[in-house]
Amino acid sequence: MIDYKILVWGAKSKSLILFNMIKNNELFYKNKKIKNKKINLLVDPFLKKPEFISDVTFVNKKNHFIKNLKKANSFIVAIGENFGKARYLISEELIKKKLKPLGLIHKTSFIDKTSILGIGIQIMPNVVVHCYSKIGNFTILNTSSTIDHQCEIGNGVHIMGGASIAGNVKIGDFVTIGTNATIFPGIKIAEGAFIGAGSVVRKDVKKNEIVIGNPSKFLRKNKHFYDLSFFK
């Protein structure tokens, strides 16, 4: 039996939530629940110290990261909000370091057996994923969001709390769906788009568009921020 020695990337509030889920035995690798696990490393290049109290080794310098990497054999990236591309690209870099991508599925969520889950997913409390849907790698389904039948959700997506995705919706990579947004059936949302909180989307959304309102309207183009210099 493998002992999972976990690196958590990110040391803000999202990390604290994931710490709690790991403690509550909601950790998975390739759809199999993990029992033997320990968080050994907390990494955040953009903080002087974690935003919460922890006895886990904290690293924010590249040389310390390289030195301490041997303490971990698996990872979770605790980056939420609209930074899905950063979460995905950082995860890819950690896989190159031979670390296993772990996922988290809250015990109160419902995932239909016919649906397919990617690697490194994070599924929060009371999420519903209905039948024949597909969820991409390193995607977050946040609290009480619902994914109806036959949806296709891309990589590095964030479906925020309370968002409702109707049937046969296709969502591209790195899309963010804001809190309590509603996506009508059959809609296609292209890569990198951002749907504002509470928006009602009744027509397709193009690549990197930000749309808001009810019915949703184009606001401006979306930009994606990420920094991989820590791995260079």
Nearest to 138 by CA among 93, 181, 92: 92
CB contact set of 119 (below 8 Å; sequence gap of 6+): 30, 101, 103, 137, 138
- Comparing CA positions, the residue from 117, 192, 173, 119 lying closest to residue 147 is 117
- Alpha-carbon span 138 to 119, nearest angstrom: 6
The first and second tokens of residue 69, run together, are 């990497």
Per annotation, catalytic residue among 64, 106, 130, 149: 149
Known catalytic residue: 130? no
Q: Which of 13, 27, 25 is nearest to 119 (CA)?
A: 27
CB 118 within 8 A of CB 139: yes
Backbone angles phi, psi at 193, to 5 degrees: -75, 160
The secondary structure of residue 189, as a DSSP letter, is E
Q: In Å, how far are 6, 40, 43, 109, 147 from 56, measured between CA atoms?
A: 10, 6, 10, 28, 35
Measure Cα distances from 52 to 14, 47, 55, 98, 155 in Å. Answer: 11, 12, 10, 28, 29
User: Is 155 in contact with 136 (CB distance < 8 Å)?
Assistant: yes
Active site residues: 149
